[in-house]
Amino acid sequence: MRALFRAARASSRLFSTSHASRQHQNVLDELEARGFVAAVTSPTIRQHVNSPSCIYSGVDPSAPSLHVGNLLPLMGLLHFHLAGHEVIALVGGATGSIGDPSGRSSERPILSAEQLKTNVEGITGQIGKFFARGEELASLFVEAKPPVKRHPVKVLNNLEWFGQMSLLDFLRGTGKQARVSAMLSKESVKSRLADGGISFTEFSYQLLQAHDFSVLNQEYGCRIQLGGSDQWGNIVAGIDLINRQRKTLNAEEGPIESESQDEVFGMTLPLLTTASGEKFGKSAGNAVWLDACKTSVSDLYQFFYRQPDSMVEVYLKTLTLLPLATIEETLARHRERPQERIAQRVLAEQVTHLIHGEDVLQKCLRAAELLFNTPLSQYRSEEIAHVFATDTRFKTVSWNDIESIPLRKIMATYGLTASSSAAAKACAEGAVSVNGAKVLDHKSCLDKTLMLDDHLFILKLGKKDQFILYVE
Ligand X SMILES: N[C@@H](Cc1ccc(O)cc1)C(=O)O
Burial of 465 (0-12, 13-18, 19+ CB in 10 A): middle
CB of 205 to ligand X, least distance (A): 7
Cα separations (Å) of 377 from 383, 393, 419, 426, 458? 12, 20, 30, 25, 12
Q: Which is nearer to ligand X, 63 or 138 (CB)?
A: 63
Q: Which is nearer to ligand X, 59 or 461 (CB)?
A: 59
CB of 89 to ligand X, least distance (A): 10
CB of 345 to ligand X, least distance (A): 31
Q: Which residues of 191-230 are buried (b: 16+ CB within 10 A; e: fewer)?
A: bbeeeeebeeebbbbbbbbbbbbbbbbeeeebbbbbbbeb
Q: Among residues 100, 299, 358, 391, which is the contact residue for ligand X, using CB under 6 A?
A: 100
Distance of CA 155 to the CA centre of its chain: 16
Instruction: Give bridge partners of residue 458 from the DSSP assignment.
Output: 468
Determine if 90 is a binding residue for ligand X (CB under 6 A). yes
Q: Among residues 65, 174, 188, 209, which is the contact residue for ligand X, using CB under 6 A?
A: 209
Q: Which is nearer to ligand X, 230 or 309 (CB)?
A: 230
Determine if 272 is a binding residue for ligand X (CB under 6 A). no
CB of 324 to ligand X, least distance (A): 28
463: left (phi over 0), alpha (psi -120 to 50) or beta: alpha
277: left (phi over 0), alpha (psi -120 to 50) or beta: left
CA angle 353, 313, 369 (to 5 degrees): 45
Determine if 92 is a binding residue for ligand X (CB under 6 A). yes
Q: Which is nearer to ligand X, 227 or 281 (CB)?
A: 227
CA dihedral (155, 158, 163, 166) in degrees, to 10, reads: 150
User: In which element (H, E) is residue 461 found?
Assistant: strand 456-461
Determine if 123 is a binding residue for ligand X (CB under 6 A). no
User: In the bound complex, which residue of the shown chain has the CB atom lying closest to ligand X?
Assistant: 58
State how far the Cα of 324 lies from the Cα of 347, in Å rounded to an integer. 13
State how far the Cα of 148 lies from the Cα of 164, in Å rounded to an integer. 38
State how far the Cα of 71 lies from the Cα of 429, in Å rounded to an integer. 39
Instruction: Choose one: 89-97, 304-312, 342-350, 438-446; the region binding ligand X (CB under 6 A).
Output: 89-97
CB of 251 to ligand X, least distance (A): 27
Instruction: Give bridge partners of residue 445 from the DSSP assignment.
Output: 406
CB of 384 to ligand X, least distance (A): 40
Q: Which is nearer to ligand X, 86 or 100 (CB)?
A: 100
Determine if 177 is a binding residue for ligand X (CB under 6 A). no
Asked if 48 contacts 28 with a C-beta cutoff of 8 angstroms, the reply is no
Determine if 217 is a binding residue for ligand X (CB under 6 A). no
State how far the Cα of 415 lies from the Cα of 417, in Å rounded to an integer. 5
Q: Which is nearer to ligand X, 222 or 426 (CB)?
A: 222
CB of 100 to ligand X, least distance (A): 4
Cα separations (Å) of 221 from 225, 448, 455? 12, 67, 60
Give the three-state DSSP class for 154. Answer: strand
CB of 99 to ligand X, least distance (A): 9
Q: Among residues 41, 95, 362, 381, which is the contact residue for ligand X, using CB under 6 A?
A: 95
Number of residues that bind ligand X (CB under 6 A): 13
15 closest CA partner among 132, 134, 140 = 140
Q: Among residues 212, 299, 349, 391, which is the contact residue for ligand X, using CB under 6 A?
A: 212
Q: Segment 6-65, which members bind ligand X (CB under 6 A)?
A: 58-60
210 closest CA partner among 185, 188, 241, 182 = 241
DSSP symbol at 20: S
Determine if 234 is a binding residue for ligand X (CB under 6 A). yes
Instruction: Choose one: 92-100, 122-130, 248-256, 414-422; the region binding ligand X (CB under 6 A).
Output: 92-100
Q: Which is nearer to ligand X, 28 or 90 (CB)?
A: 90
Q: Per-residue string for binding with ligand X, 273-312, x by CB under 6 A?
A: ----------------------------------------
Give the three-state DSSP class for 345. Answer: helix
Dihedral sign for Cα 378, 380, 381, 385, please. negative
Q: Which is nearer to ligand X, 92 or 406 (CB)?
A: 92
Q: Segment 132-161, which members bind ligand X (CB under 6 A)?
A: 158
Q: Per-residue string for binding with ligand X, 370-409, x by CB under 6 A?
A: ----------------------------------------
CB of 63 to ligand X, least distance (A): 12
Instruction: Choose one: 16-24, 87-95, 328-336, 416-424; the region binding ligand X (CB under 6 A).
Output: 87-95
The site for ligand X (CB under 6 A) is made up of: 58-60, 90, 92, 95, 100, 158, 209, 212, 227, 231, 234
